[in-house]
């Protein structure tokens, strides 16, 4: 994981696309896969706006066990269909080492969520499959701990890892989490792996997402992960932080300007 002198960012392949090269990778889609039509509509729209990958959880970590926890394998099938339709790779979360093989059968990128950053059995299982891994920073974890968690995956032979800063818990309550933008240059100075920023889970409020996304690109992020839904108010999870399709299209235009400048 550690960056050698003069070492460039490693390019990680994501299906037919890649992250870590000159082009900004924007991963967009709903928090959770809710139904087929909704997902396909979202996938087509974000693809038309220039997204490089589709996101959507089929296995959802929820604070309450009584909240919507995802469609499971049915959701993975809809994601595969969205890939067929758009040509975009699919990023989706795997929550347990028991499900790594199942999720890897459908996904192009395995997402390990913030709550599982230090789930070492899961990290090691992800280290044994030939799929890139998006490793999210834990809510209460340091950048150094995040770097060491990537080692668990790399040490098992899987070199295709990218980090994701998604905000950490602080005393501030205006945002859901505090986006630690310093993590971007720190990760990039210490590691050769690409860095993604998720402004949605940091902000917790959709009106804050564009500013954080633009700032992340200015700070040197290789990619973004943004929650998008045709009708955020009706989303089954994280609607408050989710932007709609026109807002995503508008944001993509502004991101292109910043990406060009850095
Ligand atoms: C998500 O990406 O939908 C998610 C649950 O994120 P996090 O693990 O960062 O909370
Ligand atoms: Mn979410």
Residue 60 Cα to ligand 2 midpoint, Å, equals 8
ipTM of the complex: 0.99
Q: What is the mean pLDDT of residues 241-245?
A: 98
What pLDDT does 36 receive? Answer: 98
Rounded distance, CA 140 to CA 105, Å? 31
Looking at residue 171, its pLDDT comes to 98
The residue whose C-alpha atom lies closest to atom 9 belonging to ligand 1 is 114
**DSSP-assigned states of every residue in 185-238:** HHHHHHBSS-EEE-HHHHH-SGGGHHHHHHHHHHTT-SEEEEEB-SSGGG-SS-
Q: Are 37 and 11 in contact (CB under 8 A)?
A: no
Over residues 126-174, the pLDDT tens digits come to 999 999 999 999 999 999 999 999 999 999 999 999 999 999 999 999 9
Q: Which residue's alpha carbon is at the smallest distance from atom 4 of ligand 1?
A: 113
Residue nearest ligand 1's atom 6 by CA? 113
Burial classification of residue 39, based on how many CB atoms lie within 10 Å of its CB (0-12 exposed, 13-18 middle, 19 or more buried)? buried
What are the tokens at 250? 């508008």
127 CA → ligand 2 middle, Å: 24
* Token pair belonging to 20: 């870590």
Q: What is the pLDDT of residues 51-90, one digit of tens each?
A: 999 999 999 999 999 999 999 999 999 999 999 999 999 9
| DSSP result, 121-167 | HHHHHHTTSSS-EEEEPPTT--HHHHHHHHHHHHHTT---EEEEE--
CA-115 nearest atom, ligand 1? 8
Kind and range of the H or E run holding 40: helix 36-49
Choice from 34, 56, 57, 229 to test ligand 1 binding pocket (greatest atom count within 8 A of CB):
57
Distance CA 24, CA 18 (A): 9
Burial of 20 (0-12, 13-18, 19+ CB in 10 A): buried
Q: In the structure encoding, which two tokens stand for residue 52, read together?
A: 């490089």
Percent of the chain with pLDDT over 70: 100
Q: How many angstroms separate the alpha carbon of residue 112 from the centre of ligand 1?
A: 8
29 lines ligand 1 (CB under 6 A): no
Please check the confidence at residue 3 and state whether its pLDDT lies above 90. no
Does 1 score more than 90 pLDDT?
no
Q: Specify the CATH number of the domain 12-261.
A: 3.20.20.70
Supply the mean pLDDT for the chain: 97
Give domain limits for the chain: 12-261
SS3 category, 127: coil
Whether pTM > 0.95 for this model: the answer is yes
């Amino acid at each position: 994981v550690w960056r050698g002198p003069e070492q460039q960012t490693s390019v990680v392949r994501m299906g037919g696309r890649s992250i870590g090269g000159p082009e900004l990778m924007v991963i967009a889609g709903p928090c959770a896969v809710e139904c087929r039509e909704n997902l396909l509509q979202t996938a087509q729209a974000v693809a038309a706006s220039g997204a490089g990958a589709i996101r959507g959880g089929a296995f959802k970590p929820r604070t309450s066990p009584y909240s919507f926890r995802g469609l499971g394998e049915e959701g993975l099938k809809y994601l595969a269909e969205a890939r067929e339709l758009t040509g975009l790779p699919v990023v989706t979360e795997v929550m347990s080492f028991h499900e790594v093989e199942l999720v890897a059968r459908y996904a192009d990128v395995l997402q390990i969520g913030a709550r599982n950053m230090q789930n070492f059995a899961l990290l090691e299982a992800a280290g044994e499959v030939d799929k890139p891994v998006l490793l999210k920073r834990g809510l209460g974890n340091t950048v150094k701990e995040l770097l060491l968690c990537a080692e668990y995956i790399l040490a098992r032979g899987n070199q295709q890892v990218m980090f994701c800063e998604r905000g950490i818990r602080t005393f501030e309550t205006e945002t859901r989490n505090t986006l630690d933008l310093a993590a971007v240059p720190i990760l990039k100075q210490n590691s050769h792996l690409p860095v993604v920023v998720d402004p949605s889970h940091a902000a917790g409020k959709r009106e804050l997402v564009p500013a954080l996304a633009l700032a992340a690109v200015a700070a040197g992020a290789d990619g973004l992960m943004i929650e998008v839904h045709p009708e955020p108010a009706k989303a089954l999870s994280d609607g408050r932080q989710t932007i709609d399709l026109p807002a995503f299209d508008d944001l993509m235009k502004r991101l292109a300007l910043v990406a060009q400048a850095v």
